[in-house]
Structure 1
């Protein structure tokens, strides 16, 4: 049972037959969502139904899921793996850990090797200063000690809020003073749209991006790094 959308995708990629349950937000890949039943959401899982399912393992995440739900599942006698993923390296470690739990060490190692291959590739351009808003009102940005910030750095960016708390509240004036060269507008957790790009036009060129590039760890990491590098190269074109 997985309570984390990106780790549900990972479990399916490693061993589809092992996945007995998911949350209603676990919708990737579509063929998985069509076959695996949902048991509540990431913040409100159906603890009683999950306990009745009696999974051998429940996969959770410290940021995605609530402590009280994890504790309730554990009180039902279930084994819960709580992942902590605030960097690319921690994501790779989680892939290995989940691979071991599913008996798919070789498949997990192959996924991690693909990511490390991309990490070893030369960067297409020098460091590009980037700002990523994650909420609009109030304006919150992607700060340091987060997986998204680590992905930016691995792609060759400088996160202008890397020295701040994880998701600081900022003003447009504060952001402008940090001199970003590119603003990336993800579609999650806040769904930024084309009309929002104009709000940041006075600061730097703004590009709409798939939020999964920055938030989803697992089988899409290598492709996400390559897409982020393409976006950064475009900022210097």
Structure 2
């Protein structure tokens, strides 16, 4: 089966489950894992600006998309000519379903189950001792955080943090003053690439607050990625459990 993935984390999951470059024939420019394999796969644009003509020329048997990451109108155009499967991965349970479903689609059920078991183990063995209020920032100018209906929120919660903006939805715009009640401010490495200079600017405003840069992939990449984050979570949480 020839498949095109329109989602970076799904592309990674396909290769993790054992598909080859002969089966995954198209991916977005943001599909960067695993590097040694995706480099051999045709790029069909970005997640939100697909090259429809190129996709049509590749003639895939199946296209995998995501409700949030891809543009509805573009996906609907593809649905006229191709078999398109659209996932909506918001919760941890959604993610287990996604991996299980991919395993069934490509007859990789055993590998999918192993990844799900590993993800369950990673998320349940790694927790901070005392819950802390965390403000997780994904964007600057304006500052944006995450609400309770996001995958990031659920990962934060699973490893013991309380999302400061849990009463809000999606990706709320916030002011710097809204961070006052946070025990820790997390600056994500993606989609906005927060750097030390951004951390310093916030630290100047909140000199006594813990502010850290975190690996955005460890919080926002669903699929099989969480199974590989055990060491990262342990290192992160060690900062708070000492």
**Interval containing the TM-score (normalised by the shorter chain):** over 0.9
- Cross-structure match for 2:106: 102
Q: Distance in 2 between matches of 1:231 and 1:121?
A: 13
8 Å Cα contact 2:139/2:192 also seen in 1: yes
Q: Distance in 1 between matches of 2:127 and 2:219?
A: 18
Q: Select 2:95's aligned residue among 83, 88, 91.
A: 91
Q: Select 1:63's aligned residue among 39, 61, 68.
A: 68
TM-score scaled to structure 1, two decimals?
A: 0.93
Q: Distance in 2 between matches of 1:196 and 1:122?
A: 28
Q: Select 1:11's aligned residue among 2, 14, 20.
A: 14
Q: Select 1:164's aligned residue among 140, 148, 168.
A: 168
Q: Distance in 2 between matches of 1:3 and 1:74?
A: 13
Give the count of matched residue pairs: 234
- CA drift of 1:225 comes to 5.5
User: 1:214-229 alignment to 2 at 5 Å?
Assistant: 214-224=219-229, 227-229=232-234
Is 2:235 the counterpart of 1:233?
A: no
- CA drift of 1:32 comes to 1.6
Q: Distance in 2 between matches of 1:85 and 1:132?
A: 19
- CA drift of 1:123 comes to 2.8
- Cross-structure match for 1:145: 149
- CA drift of 1:236 comes to 4.5
Residues 147 and 169 (structure 1 numbering): CA distance in 2 closer, same or farther, change over 3 Å? Answer: same
Q: Select 2:202's aligned residue among 200, 203, 208.
A: 200
- CA drift of 1:66 comes to 0.5
Q: Distance in 1 between matches of 2:5 and 2:69?
A: 11
**SS of the residue aligned with 2:70?**
coil
Q: Say what the alpha-carbon RMSD is for the aligned residues.
A: 1.6
User: 1:19-58 alignment to 2 at 5 Å?
Assistant: 19-58=24-63
Structure 1, unaligned stretches of length 5 or more? none
8 Å Cα contact 2:156/2:163 also seen in 1: yes
Q: Distance in 2 between matches of 1:47 and 1:121?
A: 43
Is 2:113 the counterpart of 1:125?
A: no
Task: Indicate the structure with greater strand content.
Answer: 2
Residues 137 and 122 (structure 1 numbering): CA distance in 2 closer, same or farther, change over 3 Å? Answer: closer
